[in-house]
Structure 1
Amino acid sequence: MLEKNHLSIIRAVDTEGSLTAAAKALHTTQSALSHTVRKLEQQLGTAIWLREGRRLRLTQAGEYLLAVAHRVLPQLAQAEERVRQFATGGRGVLRIGMECHPCYQWLLKVVSPYLQAWPDVDVDVKQKFRFGGIGALFGYEIELLVTPDPLYRRGLRFEPVFDYEQVLVVGRGHPLAGAAYVRPVDLSREVLITYPVAIERLDIYNQFLLPAGISPRRHKIIETTDIMLQMVEGGRGVTALPRWLVEEYAGRMAITAVRLGRNGIAKQIFLGMREADLEIRYVQAFIALARDRSTGS
């Protein structure tokens, strides 16, 4: 079987000019090198060199293997270096799954400086894992999961990166716009706009409406944040979003945030990962930068 060391020998003999010089360059003995070559020729069923006096001349098969050595050995050396970089966390692909619809804008603020700081690490954001992120982590489809609702499982770690408050969003002309806070019953007459997420995973329902036994007048689903907030601005309904995101949009849209209940709804964003990946340097760096760029802290 042709191996890397065989190609190294063929290249060394061509470069150094003799078996003796090649053995010295490869830090072995001439007898060991000659034995390896004879064994390879027996396995291949053909000679690699022809001896012409004190000179070695490559056969046609030897010329072919020399060309392979010149092409393959640098590729293998580069591959080994890349793998060493992967092992030390200096190079790789960081695939991020999203289980937080409104967090995409926040993530962009983290990714841009991260790419500058880690030029040998690529970033890919997978939004299809909005609510299947745990399986994606276990299936090695992603390295990090952005989620406000961690599901703790053996082999996974969830690191909190920032706190935020979930608030009701209304148009500035809405009757609730000036309220200190809203009560669940206040939403019984409202059209509630949400992302396409199961009700049991919506904070506005599971932490506010359902415990009070209240339902909105109508529940409307919209996929994108911009369209959702345009509907709210136009008086077509109300929605619930992180306060930091509402404040970003409030500078260019006629919307305002109102606290949900007297004490509000406190939430956290977590980064989930496999415990086996905790020591990867570029993963650690992303977590640190995410905390540093926290808009909710």
Structure 2
Amino acid sequence: MLERTHLTIIREVDRQGSLTAAANVLCLTQSALSHTVKKMEQQLGTAVWDREGRTLRLTQAGQYLLALANRVLPQMEHAEERMKQYAEGQRGTLRIGMECHPCYQWLLKVVSPYLARWPDVDVDVKQKFQFGGIGALFGYDIDILVTPDPLRKPGLRFEPVFDYEQVLVVGRGHRLAQLPFVPPEELADEVLITYPVEIDRLDIYNQFLMPVNVMPKRHKIIETTDIMLQMVASGRGVAALPRWLVEEYAGKVAISPVRLGKRGIAKQIFLGVRETDAAIDYLKAFVELARQSDWNTTQEPLGQ
């Protein structure tokens, strides 16, 4: 019979790379763990690892069980933590995953008042889920996903909380800075600076340039917002970012926002949650507070 202990061992051996290291993490002796592994394989009726000297390589059955362990164990651990919180009268930690490079500054405006209103809830922001947040939600690694591009899946709910405009960012002395809007062909001679994101997921490409078969002169990737905007201010290229973010930096860096096309590019920030968690009080409160963010009332309306 397959037991939770079996899945825990398989996951830990894979994480640590050896029985010895896994035994240390699991607080077992190596001989005890080896005996447990042998008994597990006998119970399952199949080998989980092929042994090549001291090296362990998962069999096909072992690979299946590892995938199962990576799906099931986080959910069980999450449920146990939730039960512990209920038993102790606590609410625990709200884990937020970021699938949006520039959204961090917006999130800070929400987290600060939230912590003040919910003193018994901690907040942990995980930025490693760049465009992998759906799996993190399903895997119970996070409780809320911040994304401008929701991927609708059964079992998940996405709430729009913030409307914004995607704009072109140029240096204040740039030739495009005084235009009311920028047509796509004007970017054919520009160096376009973006975050390290696939082109088909960048709005500047899929909503503005590619529909009219225009490409920038060069595409340059920069990971951090501050360096990106310093490059733009020094005339090394242009970028596409949310208007609210550009206006936040405009007082510190010599940059200007310009509308992308006559009608502009309208976007939204969504918060994704598991449907089974949507009624949790402190989670609902975070979503509602995000809707009330000051930036929601300060955005310039798009042209009609």
TM-score, scaled relative to structure 1: 0.71
1:185 counterpart letter in structure 2: E
Instruction: Tell me whether 1:246 sits opposite 2:242 in the alignment.
Output: no
Q: Deviations over 1:100-137 (max 9, x none)?
A: 11010111111111111111111101100011000000
Q: Distance in 1 between matches of 2:88 and 2:193?
A: 47
Q: Go from structure 1 to structure 2 and tell me whether the alpha carbon gap of 1:177 and 1:139 turns closer, same or farther (over 3 Å shift).
A: same
Matching of residues 1-297 of structure 1 within 5 Å: 82-84=85-87, 91-297=91-297
* Cα-to-partner distance string for 1:148-186 (whole Å, 9 max, x where unaligned): 000000000000001000000000000000001111100
Task: Tell me how large the CA RMSD over aligned residues is.
Answer: 1.5
Question: Secondary structure of the residue that 1:101 maps to in structure 2?
Answer: coil
Matches of 1:214 and 1:153 in 2, distance apart? Answer: 33
Report how far residue 82 of structure 1 moved. Answer: 3.4
| Structure 2 gaps, min length 5 | 1-81, 298-304
Alpha-carbon displacement from aligned partner over 1:205-225 (angstroms, at most 9, x marks no partner): 000000010100000000000
CA distance in 2, matches of 1:196, 1:82: 38
Distance 2:258 2:296 in 1: 16
**Could you tell me how far apart the structure 1 residues matched to 2:195 and 2:290 are?**
24
Provide the residue aligned with 2:60 in structure 1: none
Provide the rounded CA distance (Å) in 2 between the counterparts of 1:262 and 1:281. Answer: 42
Following TM superposition, the consecutive aligned residue runs of length 4 or more in structure 1 with deviations greater than 3 angstroms are 79-82
Aligned partner letter, 1:171? G
Q: Is the 8 A contact 1:161 1:294 kept in 2?
A: no
Deviations 1:31-62 (A, max 9, x none): xxxxxxxxxxxxxxxxxxxxxxxxxxxxxxxx
> What is the CA-CA distance between 1:254 and the residue it aligns to?
0.9
User: What is the deviation of 1:296?
Assistant: 3.9
Segments of structure 1 that go 5 or more residues without pairing to the other structure are 1-78
Q: Taking structure 1 as reference, are residues 179 and 203 closer, same or farther at Cα in structure 2, changes over 3 Å only? A: same
**TM-score (normalised: structure 2):** 0.69
Deviation readout 1:44-83 (Å, 9 max, x if unpaired): xxxxxxxxxxxxxxxxxxxxxxxxxxxxxxxxxxx98831
SS of residue paired to 2:157: strand
One-letter amino acid matched to 1:265: I
Counterpart of 1:83, as a letter, is Y
- Distance in 2, matches of 1:288 and 1:276, equals 18
In 2, distance between residues paired with 1:278 and 1:261?
Answer: 38
Q: Which secondary structure does the structure 2 equivalent of 1:82 belong to? A: helix
Per-residue deviation, 1:294: 4.6
Q: Larger C-alpha radius of gyration, 1 or 2? A: 1
Distance 1:113 1:271 in 2: 17
What residue is the counterpart of 2:5 in the other structure?
none
Aligned to 2:18: none
Partner of 1:18: none
Indicate the SS of the match to 2:272: strand
> Amino acid of the residue matched to residue 186 of structure 2?
D
Task: Count how many residue pairs are aligned between Structure 1 and Structure 2.
Answer: 216
Is the 1:244–1:296 contact (alpha carbons within 8 Å) kept by the matching residues of 2?
Answer: no
Residue identity in the other structure for 2:123: V
What code does the residue aligned with 2:215 have?
A: S
